[in-house]
Structure 1
Amino acid sequence: MMEEEGFFHSLSVKNLSAYFSRSHDGIFLINECMELLYANGTMQEWIGIKVQPGQKYNVLDLIALGDSKSVFVQNSQNVADGTPSKFECMVNPMQNETIWLEISLQRAPYGQILGIARDIGGHKQEIERLHFNSGKDELTGFLNRTEFMRIVQGMRLPLPGREHALLMIELEHFGIVNDMCGLSAGDDLLCKIADILRLAQGRRDIVARMGGKKFALLCVGCNMDLAYAKACEIRDKISAFKFEHSKNKYEVGASIGFTSIRHDTDISKQSPISEADSACHYARNMGHNRIHVYAPNGKNSYRQQESEWISRIASAFENERFQLFYQNIQQLDSGVDAEGHHEILLRMLDENGAYVTPGEFIPAAEKFNLMPLIDRWVIRTLFARNAILWCTSASQQQDDLKIPMSLCCINISGSSLNDDYFPEFLRDQVALHNVPPQAVCFEITETVAVKDVEKASRLITSLRAEGFRFALDDFGKGMSSFSYLKSLPVDFLKIDGSLVQNIDINKIDLCMVEAITRIAQEMGIKTIAEYVKSQKVIDMLQEMGVNYAQGFGIHHPEPLL
């Protein structure tokens, strides 16, 4: 130690300057009072002063305010106590711009501290750049989901009487572009949608790509009325946009959900992002280009409603709250046919004894694959209740009394149609209850049938050979009805009620019903018109040759006892 002290004692400031002048590191010497005794050329350049002999400089005057000053003092104290130290510190030069240094301090003789500094400004900038980019979506340049969630969770709540709005925007038909044109075209579409969102972005608004085809927009100082107007503007611009690729144009839509952030919003317990996402999901399930605002005490998500319906359906089975209804189908032509042609309808009683229509619980049952269970309950129950009636009719027919058999139309789902075990179940029930197959007509929707025309055709052909009959329901509702009709060997066409109900006032509907009737006649298929509401409509259908009519104008559904 004495040798080291003698070395520093023998060195003058001039000797130190010559020794360290060519170093690319900043080198300095300070005393216990934080006075700068020496700084080499590199250090003087960084701190923006030229150290003059005999002039005193307090090194803390050159350290940036805030944490850097306290960090420097603490580490200097550690060195004075005998512990070498290395730390990062921001220097605030008198003339130059603020720079970041990595400083190593160690003890020198006579209570002095020797410092060696390295410029890490470039390294800091790179870290900041990486941090900035880590919060960005590379494709659109918007914030990514992680960074957006961090901002929302840490944001300052608005003052009382003011609001922020958070919009969740999900693109429609994006998958078609990806599948038909490729992933690069899908990326191009997302960039063009991003441009639309930038035009709608307010000065203080924040946009993020939440992943895939979903975007979020945080509108600062925006109440619900303004948020709805903003959502409409975005939806309309996206809907009006036509994406072009390889001389083809593709339409795009958007489902939008939004929620509010108020002064009393507890972000720790409720997530505005989750609320907006639930509202967006609800909007998407309502249909094309819909907007839905989150309601704190209302229904906001089809997932929420569907999960509720699962338990309600299970409860209805357990407590025998499913019931069968029937609606008569009136014969319009003069031919001899079934004496009791009717459609079997399903109803569910809720916990309070009120009837629930299929349109309320069937969507959830379809999504969670409960339809085969429901279809089988309908068939078992109907066959058991109608067994005696059907057996009597069959016996009278065998006695050649020419009494036509009662025909029941039963709706079956796409899940049952695609169930390889359904025909076996059906045959077991026929054998168990001695049901004549010719008394049963299965109704399948056009939408279900065209999903797999070949499989539907094979099933229909197989069961018709055993005596069952088939009707194609809601015919005319789809865009490709006629092209598939010749591939499906059905006995009846049920003309969709949306075409039938206004034929007395709408000439286009009338022409379409007439066209469907003529084609069915040419193919030897009988027609059933749905949603018949008046005698006038019945007369018009009879005149054009429709075989059957069904609707409230003929019979209101009744419980099947």
Structure 2
Amino acid sequence: MTISLLPRSFRARLVGAGLIVGAVVLGLLFITNLLLIERYLDHQTNARTEASHDPLTQVFNRRAFETHLQAVLGDSATHPVVVLYIDLDQFKAVNDSCGHAAGDELLVGIAQRLSARVGRRFLARLGGDEFGVVLTGVDETHGAGLAAEIIAEVRGTPFIWEGRSYRVGASIGVASSKAAGLSPKALMIAADTACFGAKELGRNRVRLFDPNEEYFRQRDEDLRAISHIDEALAAGRFVLFQQRLMPLSEGLPAHAEVLLRVRNAEGGIEPPGAFIRAAERYNLMGYIDRWVVEACCRQLAAWQAQDTAPVVGRLAINVSGASLSDERFPDFVASTIRDNGVDPERLCFEITESCAIASLEAALGFIDRMRKMGASVALDDFGSGLSSFAYLKRFEVDYLKIDGLFVSHLDRDPADRATVAAMVTLARANGLRTVAEFVSSAAILEACEGLGIDYAQGFHCHRPEPLAALVPAEAC
């Protein structure tokens, strides 16, 4: 039994005080937990917002757009879906001339005006200066009407930066699930394609996707071609062929031009054909050029390791305008040659006259870099430009490949003969070797010899063959 020496009243007050302290502590713990829960919920909300919203403009981002589009397309049988693909016109000019801060402010302002215009409809920034809107339960006509309102809204208010006024517009592509299908990817590609078509028509306009229109049929073929290119690059289905050049004078070294072919799904070999045009249009030629350079260097290195000599001393590789304009391409070529231990003198790089003139400074730099390294350079399709003769003095190349347009009737067209004769005279004066392309008959070959052309190339001389055919069978 415990006996307390404290008075009963004091003990009562002490117990009461303890209860009060306990209540206060419990209250503080409760409030703390509430604050922690609130902070956690805020964090979760912010995390969801960051995952679904563009941090700059605060509208939805591309991921949220695609997720929403997938969801609404599930009901599109009863509620048609229309996508608006919006690409700002003249945004790059503002961003480049005024800086990224101006570009960001412009995008924020555009997003706010778009939000006000589209109301409760789903708006997202798809990337860069591109936005998208999803409409449900309406047709293309309604979508085109809203698109026209958006263009008027964007163009209606100039962008002011540091006291200067800039006018920005918009090109908009409109595609419906009825026309493009129920795949989110297909619907977005269709709207994007229509947007590109609007830009090609002059910008600041609306274009509706119509799968039966020739423009969109061609674009669909291009997209299939691009897919073909991606698959060929990934699966290693590109194959190198070559076409030998015939020397027309004794003592001239033998050369061959490298050609690209594709192995199809059945194992057959196809020329690149239409998909090269698509590759040029969609900036994929740079990837193809790099693949060809690497493959050629690997093959030359393999022959060297096997102590096998091909029947030609030099391989000519075509360089596209995209690679010519790529300031990193010369370094790539140099490092690839070095890494494979290839003699640069065994390579020649062909650039077309039109590409060289279009990217004059880049072409001059590329030519200088390759020749200093020990490689040769050929100016292809010479004569196709309006100022061929005027530019020739600036291009310090080794070979002049005469455009087949002047060669194909050389045996019977006096004007072509006179033009080619002038080209040959000019080439000799500049210390260049000449190559006649499209030599398809004995009569044309004889005319080339009579004009003093150094090399002939065409089906009459040599047909395209696999690159391996350059090594004699007994050497394999």
Q: TM-score, normalised by structure 1?
A: 0.46
In structure 1, the residue matched to 2:255 is 341
Q: Secondary structure at the match of 1:310?
A: helix
1:493 match: secondary structure:
strand
Matched, 1:376 2:285: no
Is 2:337 aligned against 1:430? yes
2: CA distance between counterparts of 1:521 and 1:421? 33
Change in 2 beyond 3 A, CA 1:150/1:316: closer
CA distance in 2, matches of 1:532, 1:447: 22
Structure 2 counterparts to residues 255-266 of structure 1, below 5 A = none
> Hey, what's the Cα distance between the residues in 2 that align with 1:313 and 1:554?
31
Q: How large is the Cα RMSD of the aligned pairs?
A: 3.9
CA distance 1:382–1:404, change in 2 (3 Å):
closer
Q: 1:446 to 1:358 in 2, by over 3 A?
A: farther
Q: Which residue of 458, 463, 468 maps to 2:370?
A: 463
Q: Tell me the CA shift for residue 462 of structure 1.
A: 2.0
Are 2:454 and 1:551 aligned?
Answer: no
For 1:182-202, what per-residue CA distance to the aligned partner results, in whole angstroms no more than 9, with x for missing partners?
A: xxxxxxxxxxxxxxxxxxxxx
1:57-456 aligned at under 5 Å gives the runs 269-270=178-179, 296=212, 300-334=216-250, 336-338=251-253, 340-389=254-303, 406-456=313-363
CA displacement at 1:433 relative to structure 2: 1.6
In 2: Cα distance, 1:452 partner to 1:152 partner: 41
SS in structure 1 at match of 2:323: helix
Q: 1:502 Cα shift? A: 1.1
Q: Structure 2: how far apart are the matches of 1:377 and 1:500?
A: 31
C-alpha contact 1:310 1:365 (8 A) present in aligned 2:
yes
2: CA distance, partners of 1:299 / 1:559: 36
CA distance in 1, matches of 2:452, 2:296: 31
Equivalent residues of 1:475, 1:481 under 8 A apart = yes
Distance 1:364 1:308 in 2: 9
Higher relative contact order (CA 8 A, sep 6+): 2
Aligned to 2:65: none
- 1:545 alignment partner, SS class: coil
Structure 1 residue 365, shift from structure 2 partner: 1.4
Alignment gaps of 5+ in structure 2: 1-139, 146-169, 181-189, 202-209, 469-476
Offset, 1:517: 1.1
Q: Does 1:499 align with 2:419?
A: no
* Superposed displacement of residue 297, structure 1: 10
Whole-angstrom CA distance in 2 between matches of 1:268 and 1:387: 53
Mark the CA change 1:296 to 1:455 in structure 2 (over 3 Å): closer, same or farther: closer
Give the 3-state SS of the residue equivalent to 2:178 in structure 1. Answer: coil
* Contact persistence 1:464–1:470 (CA under 8 A): yes
Distance in 1 separating the partners of 2:306 and 2:428: 32
What are the superposed Cα offsets for residues 480-535 of structure 1, whole Å, 9 maximum, x if unpaired? Answer: 11111111111001101121011112222222111111111111111000000112
Mapped contact 2:327–2:362 kept (Cα < 8 A) = no
Could you tell me whether the CA contact under 8 Å between 1:532 and 1:553 is conserved in 2?
A: yes
1:539 aligned residue (446, 462, 471): 446
1:346-393 residue CA offsets vs partner (Å, 9 max, x unmatched): 011333444443341112212222212111111111111122445788
Question: 2 CA distance for matches of 1:322 and 1:355?
Answer: 9
Output the amino acid matched with 1:508: A
Aligned partner of residue 488 in structure 1, secondary structure: coil
Q: Deviations over 1:23-60 (max 9, x none)?
A: xxxxxxxxxxxxxxxxxxxxxxxxxxxxxxxxxxxxxx
Question: Which residue of the partner structure matches residue 28 of structure 2?
Answer: none
Letter in 2 for 1:324: L
Seen in structure 2, the aligned counterparts of structure 1 residues 349 and 538 have a Cα distance that, compared at 3 Å, is same
Number of aligned residues:
288
Map Cα deviations across residues 315-354 of structure 1 (whole Å, 9 max, x no partner). Answer: 11222211000001000123x232x310000011333444
Match of 1:29 in 2: none
Q: Is the 8 A contact 1:326 1:559 kept in 2?
A: yes
Amino acid at match of 2:405: S
- Checking the alignment, whether the CA contact within 8 Å between 2:407 and 2:438 is kept in structure 1 is yes
Three-state SS of the structure 2 residue aligned to 1:269 is helix
Distance in 1 between residues matched to 2:302 and 2:267, nearest whole Å: 30
Cα offset, 1:438, TM superposition: 0.7
Kept in 2, the 8 Å contact 1:501–1:531? The answer is: yes
Q: Supply the distance in 2 between the matched residues of 1:455 and 1:423 (Cα, whole angstroms).
A: 10
Matched, 1:520 2:431: no
Contact 1:391 1:436 in 2 (8 A): no
**1:465 & 1:342 partners in 2: Cα distance?**
22
- Runs (4 or more) in structure 1 with deviation over 6 Å come to 151-154
Q: Which structure dedicates a bigger proportion of its chain to helix?
A: 2
Shift, 1:560, TM fit? 1.5
Closer, same or farther: CA 489–354 of 1 in aligned 2, 3 Å: same
**Residue in structure 1 matched with residue 43 of structure 2 by the alignment:** none
Q: Unpaired segments of 5 or more residues in structure 1? A: 1-148, 155-210, 213-266, 286-293, 397-402
